Amino acid sequence: MKKHIDYAVDVVTSGNQLLDYLSMNYRPVPVLSLGFPHCMEAGKDYSQPGAAKYTVGGGVITVGQADIVNSVAAVKYLVFDEKKLTMDRLIQALDADFKGYEDVQAMCLAAPKYGNDDERADFCVGEIFTHVVDQFEKYDTKFGKMTCGMLPVSGNTPIGQWVGALPSGRNAKTPLTDGIGATGGTDVNGPTALLKSVSRIPHARFTQGTQLNMKFEPEMLKGENGIAHGMNMLKTMCMLDVYHAQINCVDRNTLVDAQEHPDKHRDLLIRVAGYTAFFVELGKETQDEIIGRTEINAWAGCGCGR
């Protein structure tokens, strides 16, 4: 797997360097440059190396963290540990997008999943993503070393169109998991378990940021007890060094109704993936992905003081 990562990193880095070349030579940004005093003093456009006082190097955003972890976990668990599948049969099922292999897909979906503080799935989180960032940081750009982030900004939905079926049980061309959270509906052990899984990511290495989406039912945060529980969970995030969490406090029925009757919900604001948007202005695929995110509707098992 690491060899595949190394190859992908090399391809992505080459593409990033091409984009830098195009920006430097064909895409000046004079209006943006006006907002940077150092650009004005140096007489250089923002797109040129050394024009801005501070730069962060070349930037790459990774998408589908849970899909990677769940796929590795499924292969280890089903093929090597439990020996319920052969690798050949799994590959055949993936090539067919599980059509005619529904039994294989059922096993893949039932395999251990990231987001539950389950060592059978989380064992590979730190190693995989440390290796990813290690490889990117080997490359230099005109703006400094390559850096990484985990902020899909809704890219998980269109990028999913390019990705085939996965050992996690995900079908081809469906959205990848948003941010660094669990795949919708697979984190079943409460919010603290999710946070403990997320904490295994080497957040400090991903200098462009890591983003966790969470969705709470409004009932959870009602009253003094709800506020206390919410504050306890925020403290838990900080203790576990989870850098960036954005929380939607809205129930699923409201989102579904807004999708069906947009004129009644023009003012419904939603945190999407690193940005806020009016829900009714989002594309249907993105709306569906937000509706499908796991909704935390009970504090039981979360370790937040109850």
pLDDT digits (tens, 9 = 90+) for 21-67: 999 999 999 999 999 999 999 999 999 998 988 876 778 999 999 99
Q: Judge contact between 181 and 213, C-beta under 8 A.
A: yes
* Rounded mean pLDDT, 245-273: 88
What is the model's pLDDT at position 300? Answer: 43
What global pTM score does this model have? 0.85
What confidence score (pLDDT) does residue 95 get?
A: 98
The tokens describing 271, both together, are 């945190």
Where does the pLDDT of residue 304 fall: very low under 50, low under 70, confident under 90, or very high at 90 and above?
very low
Q: Residue 294's pLDDT is what?
A: 66
User: What does the pLDDT average to over 179-188?
Assistant: 91
**Are 57 and 147 within 8 A, CB to CB?**
yes
Count Cβ atoms within 10 A of the Cβ of residue 37 and give its class: 0-12 exposed, 13-18 middle, 19 or more buried: exposed
Max mean pLDDT among 83-87, 181-185, 214-218 falls in 83-87
Contact status, residue 166 vs residue 67, Cβ threshold 8 Å? yes
121 vs 221, more confident: 121
Does residue 97 register a pLDDT over 70?
A: yes
305 pLDDT exceeds 50? Answer: no
How does residue 301 score in pLDDT terms, banded at 50, 70 and 90?
very low
pLDDT of the residue at 217: 79
pLDDT value of position 82:
97
Give the whole-angstrom CA distance, residue 10 versus residue 24.
21
Which amino acid would we find at residue 124? C
Round to whole Å and give the CA distance between 77 and 16.
36
**Whether the predicted pLDDT of 262 surpasses 80:** yes
Looking at residue 200, its pLDDT comes to 97
- Predicted local confidence at residue 295, as pLDDT: 65
At 137, is the pLDDT very low, low, confident or very high (cuts 50, 70, 90)?
very high
For residue 211, pLDDT over 60 is answered with yes
User: Does 164 score more than 70 pLDDT?
Assistant: yes
For 10, the token pair is: 């090399």
Dihedral over alpha carbons 124, 130, 135, 138 (to 10 degrees): -170
Do residues 27 and 45 lie in contact, with contact meaning Cβ atoms separated by under 8 Å? no
Structure confidence at residue 155 (pLDDT) = 84
Q: How far apart are the C-alpha atoms of 246 and 269, rounded to whole Å?
A: 13
Contacts of 234 (CB under 8 A, 6+ apart): none
So what's the pLDDT on residue 296?
62
Residue 299 scores a pLDDT above 90: no
Mean of the per-residue pLDDT values for the chain? 90
